[in-house]
A and B are shown apart, each in its own frame.
Chain A
């Protein structure tokens, strides 16, 4: 397991008092702890990485043990996993779905196609990387990535959530302009 995950300093605790128990800790930590263990991901994937996404939810890597379950509507989802080839026609729909998700929201770019267009980079109809239209938190390389890689990416998202300030606004709900050719990694780790 990643060393960083186990090295989170304990800043909360449970103490016995006269009438029962008292929970103490920093407000950031107390809010982020349940948030990172109830990460609901959007059941959506444009192409074949979806098979690995289904596998990740299956018994071997079992995302349920992190409290991650899939949701079939963007309104209830915290995390969007873009797994696969995105055509220009689909990209506009994905942008719409992303805008429908409530803040705070996170995006995982899964596989070579979503990262940079992959083997369809010379194609006339494929978007060369989902980061052209959405801010991406985690990139997973691979074609397709293994379920372990996706599970690891989910844990990285948990780390991002863990370091967030609860009062701070993460990013504007909708971006007025698409990020033209930005293509850079948005890093919060």
Chain B
């Protein structure tokens, strides 16, 4: 199914919760087409995309997050594929940067569990309703979220210096 057709069906069903589709981004010719949605309707939209017989997006490829300090927001991209025709669809949503929180989609795709843990670890987004909200990669006592644009590295971790002295 084509991207425009999916958007049409989604707009018909969810109306205001679906934003305008972003088809062409200047300077990024290979970027996938995507659509922004309202985070409060995220789980419903995902469930619809997965269960509806016209799309059957049963496979969640990845969930990624990006930090945008200028516009004070964090965007999340849910990339899903369908076993019907191999089609790919990107659904994006955004949350504020100061206190980021988004409902989890673990109930829709189990695969989202570790993807969301990774974003919680590296960007600090809190996924409400997640069954196991722990850090995935970094040590448990790690301070800060490294993929935030304003992240400052600390001088040492557990006595290990984080910078190498210049070569003599």
Let me know if B157 is at the binding interface, CB within 8 A: yes
Is there an interface contact between B151 and A129, defined as CB atoms closer than 8 Å?
A: no
In the complex where A92-B158, A178-B159, A180-B159 touch, is A125 in contact with B146 (Cβ < 8 A)? yes
Contact partner of A88 among B139, B151, B163, B164, CB < 8 A?
B139
Counting CB contacts under 8 A, is B165 at the interface? yes
- Would you call B99 an interface residue if the criterion is a C-beta within 8 Å of the partner chain's C-beta atoms? no
| B161-A88 in contact (CB<8A) | no
- Report the Cα distance A183→B168, complex, angstroms: 10
Chain A residue numbers with a CB within 8 Å of B157 are: 88
User: Which residues of B sit under 8 angstroms from A13, Cβ to Cβ?
Assistant: none
Contact across chains for A116 and B164 when beta carbons are under 8 A apart: yes
Least Cβ–Cβ distance between A37 and chain B, in angstroms: 35
Give the number of residues in A that approach B within 8 Å (Cβ atoms): 20
Q: With A and B bound together, what is the CA distance between A98 and B168 in angstroms?
A: 27
Q: Counting CB contacts under 8 A, is B98 at the interface?
A: no
Decide: B139 and A132 in contact? CB cutoff 8 A: no
Minimum C-beta distance from A152 to chain B (A) = 23
Contacts A124-B151, A125-B146, A183-B165 known; A132 to B138 CB distance under 8 Å?
no
Q: How far is the CA of A124 from the CA of B152 in the complex (A)?
A: 9
Nearest chain-A residue to B153 (Cβ)? A124
Q: For the complex, give the distance between the alpha carbons of A127 and B156 in Å.
A: 10
Q: Which of A91, A121, A125 contacts B164 (CB 8 A)?
A: A121
Contact of B160 among A116, A121, A133, A184 (CB under 8 A): A133
**In the complex, what residue of chain A is closest to B168 when comparing beta carbons?**
A184
- Interfacial chain B residues near A181, Cβ < 8 Å: 161, 163-165
11 contacts between A and B (CB under 8 A): A88-B158, A116-B164, A121-B164, A124-B153, A125-B138, A127-B160, A128-B162, A132-B161, A133-B160, A177-B159, A178-B160
Nearest 8 CB-CB pairings of A with B: A128-B164, A124-B146, A181-B161, A178-B159, A88-B157, A89-B139, A183-B165, A181-B165
Binding site for A on B (CB under 8 A): 137-139, 146, 151, 153, 156-165, 168
List chain A positions with a Cβ less than 8 A from chain B. Answer: 88-89, 91-92, 116-117, 121, 124-125, 127-129, 132-133, 177-178, 180-181, 183-184
